[in-house]
Structure 1
Amino acid sequence: MSPQPRLRSPLEQRRASRRPGVRRPCRSGVRVMAGHPSASAWISEHLGSPVVKEGFVGGSGWSSAYTVDTQDGRRFFVKTALGRDDSMFRGEALGLQAMYDTHSIRVPKVFHYGPLSPGPGRGGSFIVMEHLDLERGRLGMAELGRRLAAMHLATPKDPDAAAGRFGFPVDNTIGGTPQLNGWMDDWVAFFRDRRLMPQLKMTGDAKLMRQGEALCSRLGSLFEGVEVRPSVLHGDLWSGNIGAVGEEPAVFDPATYYGHHEAEFGMSWCAGFSPEFYRAYHELIPRAPGFEARADLYRLYHYLNHLNLFGDSYYGQCAAILGRLV
């Protein structure tokens, strides 16, 4: 496939918005309607105080984010998705709750998700959650490593995951891509059928499909001698989804499911994890044999997703990893 111009990835967009001298879409204090009045109406009615100000934070091809301030001085974080039902935000809400239930790392509390009031040809959904003050936070990489390991070691609250099954109660999304989460008893089969194969088919590329099918036929060899237990995973852990409230690490915007803890590092190529992070994490969860080969495997899933979302500039990484693993 020849290289084509591509859209900037969420990582590039967010980094650009943080560069000195680059203007954000909305200046502080300017009122911007949050895509639809339903979210502000819900906050005013159910959280006890009228909305007095809204500000646009940013967006992607599948949702837009806003801060919403109320008359009593509280601030909430709202996301809207025009033209989408509330299944995407339901998956996000349940994912945040699953991570919260581990009592290990800070996540925003969800107050509500649901459909937007019908509009002419629009429709859509919204989610209202706690606003985390990340501007003054100080993220310590070692503490993030310890907190993430504690989350992965926590006994799942979900009965299926606690019984050793892999998946999640609902399907969700990874970026804007549907992510299938139907429960399965075998991790290798789950990663093959729910993760790799859907992404490979989505590429429509015959060469990647041939290599991917060859990899899937020998996938079990990458897990020989390794015991895999279901851990609650953030599922999309990159620098744009990590912050700190004070000195407490926080994560948000998940694509949560119960899976192999090592799969959490599939986005490590744009997460900025330091040596101190890995040292702290592996003090609690030591590396198992074959870690590096499986790290390639888990990166492949996210590179394929980026290829499907953002275009051909990610083709080379996908082909290179498949070449190494096959």
Structure 2
Amino acid sequence: MRIGKLRVLLEQYGEATLRDLLVEMYRHTPKDVIDDQDFDFMISQYTRYKEKKNSEERHSLSQTITLAERFVDSAYEHLYIRPNQVMSERDQKNWYIHAKKIIRDLAHYAEEYTEARTMYEEMFYLLSTSAGEEPLFSTSDPFRLLKISQVTMLKQLIHYYQLDAPIDTVWIDRALYTALHVPKDVDSTRIDLLSTLPIEHSHANTRKILHSRLLKLCDRMLEKSQTEDTALENYQALKMLELRLLVAEGNLKEAEQKLFAEYIPFFSHRSEPFRVYVDFLESHGHTSETKRLKRIAKEKRIRF
């Protein structure tokens, strides 16, 4: 019986039946198998057993970097989607299994080692490229297949940017550039990607630097919007990030003024920035302001 089928079958049983089933299987398992597979340790301390197994299965740092580099190079050479003598059909089909293990191991080492952080970024850009720009795998939704969102992975990457940066300006610029220019996958918007910047838990000076960078980028994108289609989308997303920044700083009066004067006019559907703003207020505990804005929405017939 395959593991997937076994899981489905076990979900049908209650706790008492599962307990009896486990005891019965243990009773019929040869003692040498119990000792070899460390069944007693697994049953008595399952969490520690899993940690031990994961540690044993994890590759070393150098092995992980080598595997990651090979994976990235193979993908860009289209070895996972074109018939070739290097990659078997099985490996082409199961690319996501290798990718998941590589990402897991890179994340394990990334807190301490720069090279792991660099390769994590390479993997993120590879998956993003395949999702939104150039098919490199058998699916157009690689993040879905890996069961990890692009937003979640970018949030982790920005954390690594912070670890590498000597000053806040460096990681802020890197984060803004990545969030603005990386190809989007089917489940992400540019607003979602920019929302990964850690505003709420940043120092006042960090938010000041970010605000300054945002204003310059907004001016640049607004100017480009006359000739570039994506520039307007980027401008809208940057304005939403500024809105979030103003809410985090408690500048609700300025935020509301800008909402109606600068944000809504640049959206074809005015409900979108309004909804985002109300969500920001609600997430920061501004209950009375949230209720007031909802009343305004009804008066102005804004559906969100």
Do Structure 1 and Structure 2 share a fold, with TM-score over 0.5? no
User: 1 or 2, which has the higher helix percentage?
Assistant: 2
- Greater RCO structure (CA 8 Å; 6+ sep): 1
User: 1 or 2, which has the higher strand percentage?
Assistant: 1
The structure number with the bigger radius of gyration is 2
- The alignment's TM-score, normalised by the length of structure 1, stands at 0.27
